[in-house]
């Protein structure tokens, strides 16, 4: 089977124009089918503030009320997505910008209210493999913003790591899938205060041990949960690193079973 590379880029990388440009050059140069997924929470927070909207965060997670959702759709699906697509076109990578509503590509349900009401937040239930394959077969690179859609047509804010991992899982029946998470760190760190303490290979046993000892930061835990879930469900290779991750000699963390 062909290898499909699914790459997720985080908010702080998106905000650094020099690093983003370097990353997009490396992404555009990747051979074979590829998919890019992005968020943009920090910029959405900034724009919401300009508009006079308060952003509520509980336990590191955004509460998405109607005003927040409107800003997220404008920022993720519009401003960030189209800037990235335009830059990729300038690098001769034929990209198309999407959210989950386009082609019913990423279907979700609104998150159930338990202890906290997260508002208009989606949990993914379905990936439209046929639609995504039709784009890849035409040599088109999908660029997904972190927005999903219900079957009834409601847009929902959705974790970008989850979008990337669920797409990689769904496509693993048709491709050998490689999932890459690019963010501000070089990988998973053994010491959160030491950027050079990258763990080269992290398996589940070591992960559980480091989590129990509270060595891994809380912000990294949801990302690693997505990693191990994807590995268990058919994704072949998973890497975490900074904007240089797609370079052959990049230092990074590989997730192992």
40 appears as a binding residue in the annotation: yes
The C-alpha atoms of residue 95 and residue 84 are separated, in whole angstroms, by 9
Dig out the tokens for 165 from the structure.
């991992």
Instruction: Give the integer Cα–Cα distance in Å for 2 and 33.
Output: 8
Is residue 62 annotated as involved in ligand binding? yes
Cα–Cα distance for residue pair 27/60, rounded to 1 Å: 29
Q: Residue 194 CB: number of other CB atoms within 10 A? A: 9
Side by side, the strands of the sheet bearing 122-127 are 122-127, 106-110, 147-149, 155-157
Distance CA 73, CA 85 (A): 16
Give the Å distances, CA to CA, from 209 to 203, 204, 205, 215, 216.
Answer: 10, 9, 6, 9, 10
Instruction: Tell me if 157 is assigned to a ligand binding site.
Output: yes
Strands 34-38 and 141-145: what pairing?
A: parallel
Close Cβ partners of 250 (under 8 Å, ≥ 6 residues apart): 241, 242, 244
Per DSSP, the chain holds a count of helices (H) and strands (E) of: 9, 14
Binding-site positions for substrate: 40-41, 62, 157
Binding-site positions: 40-41, 62, 157
């Amino acid at each position: 089977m062909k290898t499909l590379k699914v790459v997720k880029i985080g908010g702080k990388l998106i905000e650094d124009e020099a690093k983003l440009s370097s990353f997009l050059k490396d992404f555009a140069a990747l051979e074979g089918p590829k998919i890019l997924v992005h968020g943009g929470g920090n910029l959405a927070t900034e724009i919401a503030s300009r508009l006079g909207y308060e952003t509520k965060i509980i336990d590191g997670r955004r509460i998405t009320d109607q005003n927040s959702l409107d800003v997220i759709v404008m920022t993720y699906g519009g401003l960030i997505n189209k800037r990235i697509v335009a830059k990729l076109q300038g690098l001769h990578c034929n990209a198309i910008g999407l959210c989950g509503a386009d082609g019913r590509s990423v279907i979700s349900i609104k998150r159930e209210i338990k202890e906290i009401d997260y508002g208009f937040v989606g949990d993914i239930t379905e990936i439209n493999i046929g639609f995504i394959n039709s784009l890849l077969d035409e040599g088109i690179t999908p660029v997904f913003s972190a927005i999903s859609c219900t079957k009834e047509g409601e847009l929902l804010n959705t974790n970008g790591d989850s979008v990337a991992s669920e797409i990689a899982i769904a496509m693993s029946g048709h491709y050998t899938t490689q999932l890459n998470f690019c963010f501000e760190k070089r990988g998973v760190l053994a010491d959160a205060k030491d950027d050079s303490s990258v763990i080269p290979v992290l398996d589940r046993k070591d992960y559980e041990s480091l989590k129990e000892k509270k060595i891994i930061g809380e912000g990294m835990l949801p990302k690693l949960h997505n990693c191990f879930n994807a590995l268990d469900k058919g994704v072949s290779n998973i890497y975490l690193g900074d904007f240089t991750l797609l370079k052959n000699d990049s230092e990074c963390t590989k997730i192992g079973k």
